[in-house]
A = this chain, B = another copy of it.
Amino acid sequence: MERHLDLELRDLKEKLLGMGGCVEKAIEEATQALMLREPGRFEKVYELEGSINQSHIEVDDACLRLLARQSPLARDLRWIVAVLKINTDLERMGDQAVNISHNGKRYLSEPSLKPLIDLPRMAQGVRVMVREALDALVNQDVELAQKVLDRDDEIDNLKDQIFRELLTYMISDPKTIERALNLILIARNLERLGDHATNIAEDVIFAATGKDIRHGGGKSP
C-alpha cells in the first residue's frame, strides 16, 4: 500500500514540474522572440514569470507543511530539501528569462547585428540542459543528471567565444557597441540559466544518492 507521504511527495513533484514547464516555456519564448525578431513574444515571458512566482510560494509552503506534518527521514527528507532548493533555482530561472526579455527588447529596437554569432547555438544548448535537468528530476535519473553537469563546460566555452567575437565587433565598429553589449548581457543570462540547470542536476543526484557532489566532487573526469 502506498504511504500517505508518497502521495504527498508525488503531488509536490508534480507541482514542481508544472513550474518547470513554465520555466522552459519562458526560456523558449524569450530566446525565440530574440532569434525570430518577434518582440511581442516577450510579453508572454512576463506572464509566465507571474505564474512561476506564484508556484514558488506554493511549493515552499507545501514543503514546509510536509516537513512539519510527516517528519520525513532519509531519502524522503533529502527529496523535500532538494525540492526546496530546486524551487529557488526555478524561480531565478524565471527571472533570467525576464532579463533576456529586457535586454532582448533593447536589442530588437535597433537593426539586427547580423549574424547573431553563436548565440542561437548557446540558447539551444541551455534549453537542452534545462530539459534534461527536469527529466532527471522526474525520473530520479542520476545518469542524466550527470550528463547535465558535463554539458556546463560547453556552455561556458560558447559564452567566452561569443564575448570575444562581440568585443571584436564593438572595437572595429563603434556603431555596434550598444547592440553588442545587449547580446553580451544575454549571453550572461543564458550562462546563468545553465548554472541553475547544473544546480538542479546536483540536487537530483544528492536526493537520489545522498552524495553531495558540489564543489568539485561531481564532474566526469
Contact = CB atoms under 8 A, between A and B. Distances in A.
Interface of A: 53-54, 56-57, 60-61, 63-64, 67-68, 71, 73-74, 77-78, 81, 84-85, 88, 167, 170-171, 174, 177-178, 181, 184-185, 188, 212, 214-215
Dominant SS among interface residues on chain A: helix
A71 to B, nearest CB: 4
Given A56-B214, A68-B74, 4 more contacts: A60-B81, A67-B67, A170-B177, A170-B181
Contacts of A57: 212, 214-215
Nearest to A89: B88
A78 B65 CA distance: 10
Contact of A85 (B84, B174, B214, B215): B84
Contact of A88 (B61, B88, B167): B88
Nearest to A80: B67
A88 B215 CA distance: 13
Contacts of A167: 177-178, 181
Nearest to A74: B68
Nearest to A49: B215
